[in-house]
Structure 1
Amino acid sequence: MLINADFTLPAIVSPHQYHWVASPQMGVERVMLDRVGAEQARATSIVRYAPDSRFPRHPHPGGEEILVLSGTFSDEGGDYPAGWYLRNPPGSSHQPSSAEGAIIFVKLQQMPAHEQRHVRIDTRAPSNWYRQGVGEVCPLFHGEYEQVCLMRLAPGEALFSERPQGVELLVLEGSIGADCALHERGSWLRLPADEGAHLFAGPQGGTVYLKTGHLGC
């Protein structure tokens, strides 16, 4: 299966374009944002857990990255309400579930084999944020191949002062402008090198999940 599989091209999915597809596990659905492969795929998705749904224990040979968007996501490590960021490195395994239901943003099989860090960050804790210009940043991960953070931007503030070498973002609050379009909450954008140079926060500001460095030049 190939969905937005050419990473040299821009890809944008707005909430009104969401197409929920059943997963192999009852009660779990997903919106496929990009995908290369079948069920065991390199994939970026928004996943929705119905209340009292769960997956059996399974491995993640290429790692797994999660941002909890709503509800509470759980596994053996604990319960993670909205705002928690998790990284499970290659070779890890878990048994995820949700008692109350949850929606999560997930990236699978996108880590190098040598990554070994487990990451757990509560992005709603004020101590995890610092001031940057007229906005704020919550660092999530910094590696040789990618940088991940949340950014909280003032109205009209530019995301970048220099041209990025590829960018991926999910709008969490407010809106983000690109060229003549405003992308509202829930919009996902993946833009190759130089395409993201002129991104800016909308008239009410914007908060985004932001990943750079992973798409190359």
Structure 2
Amino acid sequence: MTTDTKTASQEYIEWNVDLSAPISIKGGSLPFSDTPMVGVKRMMFERRGDEIARRATSCVRYAPGSSFKPHSHPGGEEYVVLEGTFSDQNGDFTKGWYVRNPVGSTHAPFTKEGCEIFVKLSQVPSTEPDYFYLNTNEADWTSVSELHKTLSLWDSDLEETSLNQLKAGYQSTEETFDKVVEYFVLSGSATINGTQYEHHSWMRFPANTPVTIATNSGAMIYRKIGAGEVRV
């Protein structure tokens, strides 16, 4: 695992934000830590800034009946619901929903049954003025091969974000991308560039890094090509 180290007083102020450095964090190697809200914990993969983050990627876990105080997202918000039901004034989002909240959006999230989300803050461009919702459970996936299905979550000049469902025995060819590329293992396990990663693993590679992916047992993987700097 390659990470920046900080003292307790500096925690998460500058954490894994150098886009020119490869980062790999195996699932389970980082703890869920407390947030200012009772019942809400997070596993932080990258962060620039304190509680008002100027860039952040994390898993956030809400205990049943917990909530987060009303807050805004100056750089927008993107998330995938991993478990349970995540709610705000825009609706109830169950496991498998993908949501993009635009720059300047405000909400007060809560959950009745408990939930967990994979969330990215301050990484939505200001040119996206609208909210976007996609239920990946009911969407039309594209078959790339017998062992690989993909679902586009967002596609623009700045990024290509997708979910990739890989069946047991899948082996990719080597790929390179001219932008920073990021992966998160939602479920299952996969071998990426020779290292095995279980669910909750997160990694980011600089542009033009060769990447190969294989799985013996199957996996669901989030991929973002163009995981760049804040775009507000």
TM over 0.5: yes
Task: Tell me, in whole angstroms, the C-alpha distance in 2 between the residues paired with 1:108 and 1:87.
Answer: 10
- Verify: 1:36 aligned to 2:48, yes or no: yes
Q: Which of 18, 31, 54 is 1:6 aligned to? A: 18
Following TM superposition, by how much is the alpha carbon of 1:130 offset from its aligned partner in structure 2, in angstroms? 1.6
Task: Tell me, in whole angstroms, the C-alpha distance in 2 between the residues paired with 1:109 and 1:215.
Answer: 10
- Verify: 1:85 aligned to 2:79, yes or no: no
Contact residue 27 and residue 197 of structure 2 kept, 8 A: no
Q: What SS class does the counterpart of residue 39 from structure 1 fall into?
A: coil
With normalisation by structure 2, the TM-score equals 0.86
Contact residue 53 and residue 101 of structure 1 kept, 8 A: yes
Bigger strand fraction = 1
Q: Which residue of 1 aligns with 2:80?
A: 67
Contact residue 193 and residue 215 of structure 1 kept, 8 A: no
- Structure 1 residue ranges, 4+ long, deviating more than 6 angstroms after superposition: none
Contact residue 28 and residue 200 of structure 2 kept, 8 A: no
Extract unaligned runs of 5+ from structure 1.
Answer: none
The letter of the residue matching 2:197 is: H
Task: Tell me, in whole angstroms, the C-alpha distance in 2 between the residues paired with 1:115 and 1:16.
Answer: 34
Task: Tell me, in whole angstroms, the C-alpha distance in 2 between the residues paired with 1:111 and 1:179.
Answer: 28
With normalisation by structure 1, the TM-score equals 0.92
Q: Which residue of 2 aligns with 1:153?
A: 166
- Verify: 1:114 aligned to 2:121, yes or no: no
- Verify: 1:131 aligned to 2:146, yes or no: no
The letter of the residue matching 1:182 is: Q
Aligned residues: 213
- For 1:105-130, what per-residue CA distance to the aligned partner results, in whole angstroms no more than 9, with x for missing partners? 110011222221311111111x4312
- For 1:51-85, what per-residue CA distance to the aligned partner results, in whole angstroms no more than 9, with x for missing partners? 10111221111000010001110011111111110
Following TM superposition, by how much is the alpha carbon of 1:150 offset from its aligned partner in structure 2, in angstroms? 0.3
- Verify: 1:208 aligned to 2:232, yes or no: no
Q: Which residue of 2 aligns with 1:100?
A: 113
Task: Tell me, in whole angstroms, the C-alpha distance in 1 between the residues paired with 2:182 and 2:110.
Answer: 27
Spell out the pairing of 1:12-31 with structure 2 (5 A cutoff). Answer: 12-31=24-43
Following TM superposition, by how much is the alpha carbon of 1:156 offset from its aligned partner in structure 2, in angstroms? 2.8
- Verify: 1:188 aligned to 2:202, yes or no: yes
- Verify: 1:169 aligned to 2:186, yes or no: no
Q: Which residue of 1 aligns with 2:89?
A: 76
- For 1:157-203, what per-residue CA distance to the aligned partner results, in whole angstroms no more than 9, with x for missing partners? 31x664123211111222221233111111111111233x3321211
Higher deviation after alignment, 64-73 or 116-125: 116-125
Query: What is the root-mean-square deviation in Å for CA atoms of aligned residues?
Result: 1.6
Q: Which residue of 1 aligns with 2:67?
A: 54
Contact residue 103 and residue 126 of structure 2 kept, 8 A: yes
Task: Tell me, in whole angstroms, the C-alpha distance in 1 between the residues paired with 2:57 and 2:111.
Answer: 20
Task: Tell me, in whole angstroms, the C-alpha distance in 2 between the residues paired with 1:122 and 1:179.
Answer: 30
Q: What SS class does the counterpart of residue 186 from structure 1 fall into?
A: coil
